[in-house]
A and B are shown apart, each in its own frame.
Chain A
């Protein structure tokens, strides 16, 4: 009974994508990276929901939107363990996980103040040179940045 009530916190989805297990503190960053605010379809945003695994989590229910892998990989840096349920006619038809892409364009800020990307109206570009521990390298000034030093734009 209690379990049912909990699930009812969020409306069921007929067709679309449910993104689950988003760290609460990253939820709105995920919203902006996926450009949810530009959608015209109904979106439910769950924030600070209880989670056995994570303590507190965020969830996004997006009607009528099916992401391609490249789009969802944009959030790999901030929410690597996110799970996507693809819903068609109230049924989960597919589960997707994010993967760190080989290249990150316009997502990360270069930590080098003398880098051209911080001085010219242009997009940053990083190559992911180490996927496991996450090390990225600026395509321009060649600065290598470790995971803990990554700053998002």
Chain B
């Protein structure tokens, strides 16, 4: 059995992503497979995230595994000053797999170095959230039939939105074209633009959220503009209502366009969009279980078609 951790989207090759997509598709048609019988999976959530934790625990349960863990670091020894290393070493004695959400960035990578048990990163601070990226990529794969040659428009907080950054890296293998729509305060950081330029991936930046951009896109990836990100609240007041998607803006969009959102949404997608068949954000969340089943089997070296 091969031990492999799942820590960062940057570690994944095109082949890795393709393999995970096929596995996720397999679990979508066969969600209940007893592939984790007699295995114990630990979910260590040092920071609360109900959505991600339930999605992972559902994935483990559907695979017939058992779950131990915690969802609040206040109840653990880390609140008594135990190092992460010691916590991981201790849990490694009990579990066959560690799924962790630390609040410190890079902690999942470090954990994977101090234990022989595979580690899955369920989000480390503002750094990486690779299982979210896999469910985003799987949603694109499912709705478009392929990952190749797509035009992806990303809207909202492109500066701090880690799902945006990881999706750019994940999709970079598939010859995409990007449109970035954001207020000046929340523009995509230079290092990601450099990354795209090095890979010769075309992109354009806009500060207006116009129907022109929507009409050319295959995927519209919406994110929340968070009030707490602004140093100048006047700026927030100015932009908060600009990046709102309304149903009328989709009239001339492509038939294959799908709207994604990592959720939770606040007001950036008007409720009248929910009934549009192009709205995909609720199914997108459901895809998370299949993508996570694929990731879990992958790190444990379990072949899903057994």
Taking Cβ atoms with an 8 Å cutoff, the residues of A that contact B are: 112, 114-117, 119-122, 138-144
Contact = CB atoms under 8 A, between A and B. Distances in A.
B50 interface: no
A141 B107 CA distance: 8
Contacts of B102: 116
B104 A114 contact: yes
Interface stretch (B121-129, B208-216, B245-253, B283-291): B121-129
B126 A122 contact: no
Contacts, number: 50
Nearest to B125: A114
Contact of B109 (A119, A139, A143, A144): A139
Contacts of A120: 83-85, 104, 107, 110
Contacts of B106: 115-117, 138-142
A112 B83 CA distance: 19
A145 B109 CA distance: 19
Contacts of B104: 114-116, 119-120
Contacts of A143: 105
Contact of B127 (A117, A119, A121, A142): A142
Interface residues of B, number: 19
Interface of A, helix, strand, loop or mixed by DSSP: loop
Interface of B: 8, 10, 83-85, 102-107, 109-110, 124-128, 191
Given A120-B110, A138-B106, A142-B8, 9 more contacts: A114-B125, A114-B126, A115-B104, A117-B110, A120-B107, A140-B109, A140-B110, A142-B10, A142-B128
A140 B125 CA distance: 12
Contact of A122 (B8, B103, B110, B191): B110
A119 B83 CA distance: 9
15 contacts: A112-B105, A116-B104, A116-B110, A117-B106, A119-B104, A122-B85, A138-B106, A140-B105, A140-B107, A140-B110, A141-B124, A142-B8, A142-B127, A142-B128, A144-B191
Closest 10 A-B residue pairs measured CB to CB?
Answer: A140-B106, A141-B105, A141-B106, A116-B106, A116-B107, A116-B104, A116-B110, A140-B109, A114-B105, A141-B127
| Residue of A115, A120, A121, A142 most packed against chain B (CB within 10 A) | A142
Nearest to B83: A120
Contacts of A117: 106, 110
Instruction: Give the interface centre of B84, B105, B125 by most chain A CB atoms within 10 Å.
Output: B105
A106 to B, nearest CB: 14
B24 to A, nearest CB: 25
B220 to A, nearest CB: 27
For B105, B106, B126, the residue with the greatest tally of chain A CB atoms inside 10 Å of its CB is B106
A73 to B, nearest CB: 23
Contact of A115 (B10, B85, B105): B105
A120 to B, nearest CB: 6
Contacts of A141: 105-106, 124-125, 127
A138 B107 CA distance: 12
A141 B104 CA distance: 8
A40 B127 CA distance: 45
A114 B105 CA distance: 6
A119 B102 CA distance: 12
A126 B103 CA distance: 21
Contacts of B109: 116, 139-140
A115 B105 CA distance: 5
A114 to B, nearest CB: 5
Contacts of B127: 141-142
